[in-house]
Structure 1
Amino acid sequence: MTDMASANDAGPVRLVRNAPVAVIEIDNPPVNATSQAVRAGLLAAIREVDRDPQISAAVIACAGRTFVAGADIREFGQPPQEPHLPDVINAIEACSKPVVAAVHGTALGGGCEIALACHARVADPGAGFGLPEVKLGLVPGAGGTQRLPRLVGLEAALDLVTSGRTVKAAEALRLGLIDRLSSGDLRRDAMELARELIDQPLRRTGELNVDAMNAEAASEGGADVRRKARGAEAPGRAAELVLLSASLPLQDGMARERETFLELRASRQSAALRHAFFAEREVTRLPGLDSIEPRPVQKIGIVGAGTMGSGIAIAFADAGFDVKVVETGEQALAAGQARITEVYDKQVASGRITAAARDERLRTIGYAVGISSLSDRDLVIEAVFEDLDVKRVLFRDLDAILPPGTVLATNTSYLDINLIAAATSRPADVVGLHFFSPANVMKLLEIVRTDRTAPDVIATGLSLAKRLRKIPVVCRVCDGFVGNRILSRYRLQAEYLLEEGALPHEVDAALEAFGFPMGPFAVSDLAGLDIAWARRKRLAPTRDPRERYVDIADRLCEAGRFGRKTGAGWYRYTGGKRQVDPFVTELVEEASRRRGLTRRSVPAEEIQSRIRAAIVNEACKILDERIVERPLDVDVVMMHGYGYPAWRGGPLFEADTVGLGPILDTVQERAERDGPGWDPADGLVSRAASGATFYP
């Protein structure tokens, strides 16, 4: 076996001759991204395979932990350099000798397109395939929308390209995306398939026919994609390209694809989604923590088996931790255990996990009455009732039984964690780990540092987030931290709109049109109105008497309407379906009469601008108070915890994109109309006056 004698030996691609089948190996750590050097090396290797008479077939494989997992993010925003990936991929498909892809890890984006252009594909059983470009506001740019339908059909290709989801190897085999699963030795199996293809007619993906969908099905499919996209442009454009594959030759379809790719790459939406992509990674990098080692954590204790505690337990069990859940009594403990089991049973029924995986995860969760059984835990998280005195007593009792070095975490949504930590003799070990419901599903995790939290405890929180596959944002203590503090401000603005003339379903519809998955009143019903009611009652003694206060939500709670769990809140629920309720309409109109306001029709544009202004205003205050250090922290919280549309890049990125002028105009207009009922947020005004931006 000898290496190809060329300059490529020193680069990230090398050709290893092993007659009659050569191996083209890509070695570009950490994820074998398609950098310019990789593209050039791959093209040179394919040309060498084509002209060398001693080589009869080739296998494209990758070193390290994965196949090609996408583009080189260091080249994002840079002028493209030759050779372009479509040209490299076309050369692979046009090769006169069989080329087989040996895929392990993930073949994403350009990596998937490389595999599609090969004449056959063998995959490790744990491999994954995907075209996630829509998540960056793009479409595949190297033939993915045209070759994938030729292998798997239009319906499956529409799903994969417009969702950007990754499919595992077993599903890829069922769809026809790959030809074989490896039996253990991936390269050996790929080389064996390559030998079988020597002197056989080559199955070039681009030459395969695509069965067209009927016009009605195609129209419905495109409309469904656009509806699910909630304003994002790329999924709909990707659907159009996939459907074109049935009527256009490959090269014509690729030309349309490339044209669309370049158009979207220059769009605001793609810029916003690229910002979101990088922001999600940057939030984990905190100045001063680079050299800090996290504490070792494997044994987790969770106090409270309600909705939040159960979800947190599932999140840790899914990540392979040893979990123990405790409650105050047998009845509450049994209810929590049943709740956890029900979640896993539903996952089995839906096909998300196997029964064996469910049983294995359930075995990692233990249950006990009383906190004394937690004395061997590395981390204890409380998820009990949102009451400061209750939490302080609990932390005092935990402090007495836990060994030194155990991290004590609270899942509080609003309370002052400094006061909770002060109930212990070890405030440096106390941190907030604010999960979002359902905790086993939602990606966001607010890590709240107190005035005395130790740096290695913050590092531990970040390490846990990585293992849990959460997106962490580190913040300081204030009422509501980042997300709930902003939510409380824009929910107030939504309630002002009700008094002035809007109805709950109109506010929700306007914000869903803006791109939120749900409006604030539908979200309140889902979360439970009683939670926010308890907070309002707690804060009532300190409320500024000049503050405009809307009591509609209080009156709903007094009527026993706590949302979906009681069958009625801002809406009525019949068979789980949300319905506008005349009772609520009358309550809203009565509130206007008591305020002495003449109701008016409120356009959707005004609803959207006022809610957005409230979000940006409070975000500026949070930045001014250094609750977080960076605007991107706010953007990540709002996108991953509250459904702010990622294709807008988060509220502060969007404020830079559209300019602060329209938002400030709204602030000034409302301040003049309502006086102390509207907070003009001095931080925002001073930022705008100085000409500063959030992302200079």
Structure 2
Amino acid sequence: MDIPHYQRHGAVAVLRLANPPVNGLSHALRVNIAAALDAVEADPETHALVLIGEGAYFCGGADIREFNTPNSSREPVTPDLIKRIAAFPKPVIAAIHGAALGGGLELALGCHYRVAQEGARLGLPEVKLGLLPGGGGTQRLPRLIGVAPALDMIVSGQPVDAHRALQLGLVDEVAGAALAEAAIAFATRNAGQSLAQRALPDTAALPADAGALFAAARSKAEKATRGQLAPRYCIDCVEASTRGTLEEGLRFERERFVELVNGTQSKALRHLFFAEREVAKVGQYTQGAMARPVSVVGVIGAGTMGTGIAMSFANAGFQVVIVEASKEALDRGLRTMRGNYEASVAKGKLQQAQMDARLAAIRGTTATEDLASADLVIEAVFEDMEVKRSVFERLDRIAKPGAILATNTSRLDINQIAAMTSRPQDVVGLHFFSPANVMKLLEVVRGEQTAPDVIATAMEIGHKAGKVAVLVGVCDGFVGNRMVSPYTREAHFLLEEGASPQQVDQALERFGMAMGPLRMGDLAGLDISWAARKRQAPTRPAHIRYCHIADRICEAGRLGQKTGAGFYRYEPGSRTPVPDPAVQDIIERCAADSGITRRAVSDEEIVERCMYALVNEAARILEEGIADRGSDIDVIYANGYGFPSWRGGPLFHADSVGLERVLGRIREFHEVHGELWKPAPLLERLVAEGRTLSSYRKTTS
């Protein structure tokens, strides 16, 4: 029988795992491993088997392209294959290079020995996809390296390198560049050894502080991953390894794995996993153009946003020139950046040498002319069109030919900004989210005349800066902030109708939002959205319902945390929101002025009204072509707006609830609350066609 990628080297057989790009454990690869085991078992001249990866990896784990498909359960299934390896009568050695992750590490755990190459990473990251290791990882790892380190690896999903793996007893040897040769030599030396000594104990050793260990793990998981099942199930499975036999633990693990893999949370996280890779595919806009070279980035403005942007690029290895109008403001910005880096060093997240290098890459100046050498200039000045006009008119005179001119505006018209220059093809929006050095999302806004190579450059530098860059079109608020408007609109209406600020926020936080909309407004500063509402006021139809609560709060000088009061009040030096009777008075006066009789509002109504307002607006955005894919919008909300990733984004959530049911509720809200709830035509069309919103994509001719 001809077995692909199988060779004999004397008495040692070598099977190369080959399933690009990461050698995922597809059905075809599992069949190939089983065939190699058959061949080795049947050949008395072959004394050992080495498994080694083809290409850059040993094995990246299960082939998630096969999840919830017939291939995922076709024989041999991964757990049974690993059991067979563990009980194999001849030594099986995993030769690990690149990475052994998830099912790849579980495959290696089933082997009798493990040899890892320098630089290899070994981990069980399934929890990040809403899963737990389903091939024995939660049972074999604690029995091999101990409960505490296994618990940390499994619940965090973080990998360890080859040398740490050797310290833990996870691998038996660390090899240099010639991994295959080292593994064959290792197999030859150990071929005659008794495999009984390699058997794992039937029950993992119970640590002396087991009760405290598991209690602390559960408390930490609840705080860090509120609402997610997978971390809790991971802890349960590791704990089970200390209470019963290996076989009992494997059954317990498998039951929990099947529940998770068929559940909505994991499907949501897998949706985002693929969606974040899909957002980079913008070929229809780049038309094959090459990105422009960028080594020097200019930033105008050394406030909160400007310093965060500067740090993002310095962290990524770019040279940064940051400009402020006054030396006092510039020095304040430079101190802020130094303080942020020092805090990271103090927490052990950054080495002193790294901090020094990043600060050295940032040059402050009060002379705009110093931007003449920049390949990319990003303005982060006040959100006012006249201020932007002044900045871009000056940049147009200063910036070198071919430099990209970017605006960090969160709402304003990119086309108007581009028209202020003689080179609109070089203008693009780069909408960072605050704090820019922390938040992953970057909305790349394409103007009507933005050149293909400028779009290609913006997407590339976003990736280099560690951002999830999503390409969007021009409208007021682009995608994220345009959707925030109806979301907060409904939150304000619900206040008028009878809810309190804390009820609205707590209902949405229990749903999974990182922060409720009213707390978020206080954090961001209520004056930002107030300015937008005042700008939009002249075009607002008089017959459309409008809530004055937020305006009245701002008019009272309550602009959020920065003034110590907004929808809540804040004690000096504290960010903890405290309910304020003064706000309740404003709410009740506004309700009376609008002729609204307040009533009891349920948490369910709060969640539905806020969530479905997002969904309805998203459908309009897709129909207008502001976003090309429903999954792009889910990526934006999961990465920039605190939407719970385990719900997959607002559109995946709507699909999970049932799009027909969501449309039915929107129609009910339309009847009760009027024109603002008119169903989006695309939403009605998708329901009629039996299609989903999160998988929608704009067709191109």
Partners of 1:76 and 1:485 lie apart in 2 by 35
Which residue of 1 is the match for residue 422 of structure 2? 425
Stretches of structure 2 lacking an aligned partner (at least 5 in a row): 697-701
Q: Give 2:61's aligned residue.
A: 70
Q: Corresponding residue for 1:38?
A: 29
In 2, the alpha carbon distance for the partners of 1:122 and 1:589 equals 70
Q: How does 1:92-103 map to 2 (within 5 A)?
A: 92-103=85-96
1:137 is matched with which residue? 130
List aligned pairs for 1:282-297, cutoff 5 A: 282-288=278-284, 289=286, 291-297=288-294
Alignment match of 1:387 (pick from 384, 387, 392): 384
Once the two structures are TM-superposed, the CA of residue 415 in structure 1 deviates from its matched residue by 0.5
1:661, CA displacement in angstroms?
Answer: 3.8
Cα distance in 1 for residues equivalent to 2:144 and 2:678: 57
Deviations 1:100-135 (A, max 9, x none): 444333221111212323344444554333322233
C-alpha contact 2:670 2:679 (8 A) present in aligned 1: no
Question: Following TM superposition, by how much is the alpha carbon of 1:407 offset from its aligned partner in structure 2, in angstroms?
Answer: 1.3
2:52 aligned residue: 61
Structure 1 segment 350-361 matched on structure 2, within 5 A: 350-361=347-358
My pick for the range that moved more, 42-51 or 416-425, is 42-51
User: 1:17 matched to which residue of 2?
Assistant: 9
Taking the aligned partners of 2:66 and 2:287, their CA distance within structure 1 comes to 25
Partner of 2:586: 587
- Superposition pairs of residues 239-638 of structure 1, within 5 angstroms: 239-288=235-284, 289=286, 291-574=288-571, 576-582=574-580, 583-638=582-637
Secondary structure of the residue that 2:503 maps to in structure 1?
helix
Write out per-residue CA displacement over residues 472-517 of structure 1, whole angstroms, 9 at most, x where no aligned residue.
Answer: 2211100000000001110010011111111111111111111212
Q: CA deviation at 1:323?
A: 2.1
CA distance in 2 between partners of 1:420 and 1:210 (Å): 66
Letter in 1 for 2:242: A
CA distance in 1, matches of 2:658, 2:641: 22
Task: Tell me how far 1:208 sits from its aligned partner.
Answer: 6.1
Q: Which moved more, 1:384-393 or 1:88-97?
A: 88-97
Whether the 8 Å contact between 2:52 and 2:180 is mirrored in structure 1 is yes
C-alpha distance in 1, partners of 2:144/2:349?
25
Query: 1:647 maps to which residue?
Result: 646
Amino acid across the alignment from 2:20: P
Distance 1:359 1:99 in 2: 47
User: Which letter does structure 2 place at the counterpart of 1:28?
Assistant: N
1:113 aligns with 106
What is the SS of the residue equivalent to 2:288? Answer: coil
Per-residue deviation, 1:449: 0.6
Size of the aligned set, in residue pairs, is: 686
* Distance of 2:28 and 2:603 partners within structure 1: 50
CA shift digits 1:361-411 (9 cap, x unpaired): 222222222221122222111111111111122112112122222211111
Query: Secondary structure of the residue that 2:677 maps to in structure 1?
Result: coil
Q: Which residue of 2 aligns with 1:687?
A: 685
Helix, strand or coil for the counterpart of 2:576? Answer: strand
Which structure 1 segments of 5+ residues have no match?
A: 1-5
CA displacement, residues 291-329 of structure 1 (integer Å, 9 cap, x when unaligned): 332222222221122211222222222222222222222
Whole-angstrom distance in 2 between the partners of 1:46 and 1:101? 13
8 Å Cα contact 1:14/1:26 also seen in 2: no
Change (3 A) 1:193 1:371: farther
Comparing 618-627 with 96-105, greater Cα deviation is found at 96-105
Report the CA distance shift for 1:312/1:124 in structure 2 as closer, same or farther (over 3 A). Answer: farther
2:541 alignment partner AA: D
Q: Distance in 2 between matches of 1:95 and 1:83?
A: 15
Identity of aligned residues (%): 49
Q: For residue 250 of structure 1, report the CA deviation from its aligned partner.
A: 1.6
- TM-score by length of structure 1 reads 0.90
Q: Is residue 230–residue 517 contact of structure 1 (8 Å, CA) maintained in 2?
A: no
**Which amino acid is 2:670 matched to?**
A
The amino acid of 1:210's aligned partner reads A
| 2:17 alignment partner in structure 1 | 26
Q: CA deviation digits over 1:406-464, x for unaligned, max 9?
A: 21111110010101000111111111111112222222211111111111211222222
In structure 1, distance between residues paired with 2:347 and 2:449: 45
Counterpart-to-counterpart distance in 1, 2:102 and 2:684: 43
Which residue type is aligned with residue 82 of structure 2?
I
Give the deviation of 1:148 after TM superposition: 2.0
Match of 2:206 among 183, 202, 211: 211
TM-aligned CA deviation for residue 642 of structure 1: 1.2
TM-score by length of 2: 0.90
- State the 1:619 CA deviation: 0.8
Distance 2:181 2:332 in 1: 52
**Deviation of 1:39 (Å):** 2.3
Secondary structure in 2 matching 1:578: coil
* Alpha-carbon distance change, 372 to 545 in structure 1, aligned in 2, over 3 angstroms: same
Q: 1:578-601 deviations in whole A, cap 9, x for unaligned? A: 232224334333433433433322
Give the conservation status (yes or no) of the 8 Å contact 1:311–1:439: yes
Which residue identity is paired with 2:494?
A: L
Structure 2 letter corresponding to 1:76: F
CA contact (8 A) 2:68 2:262 kept: no
| CA deviations over 1:657-680 (Å, ceiling 9, x no partner) | 32234333433333333335x332
The verdict on how the C-alpha distance between 1:317 and 1:179 changes in structure 2, with shifts beyond 3 A counting, is farther
Q: 1:290 and 1:522, CA in 2 relative to 1: closer, same or farther beyond 3 A?
A: same
- The 8 Å contact of residues 14 and 45 in structure 1, kept in 2 or not, is answered as yes
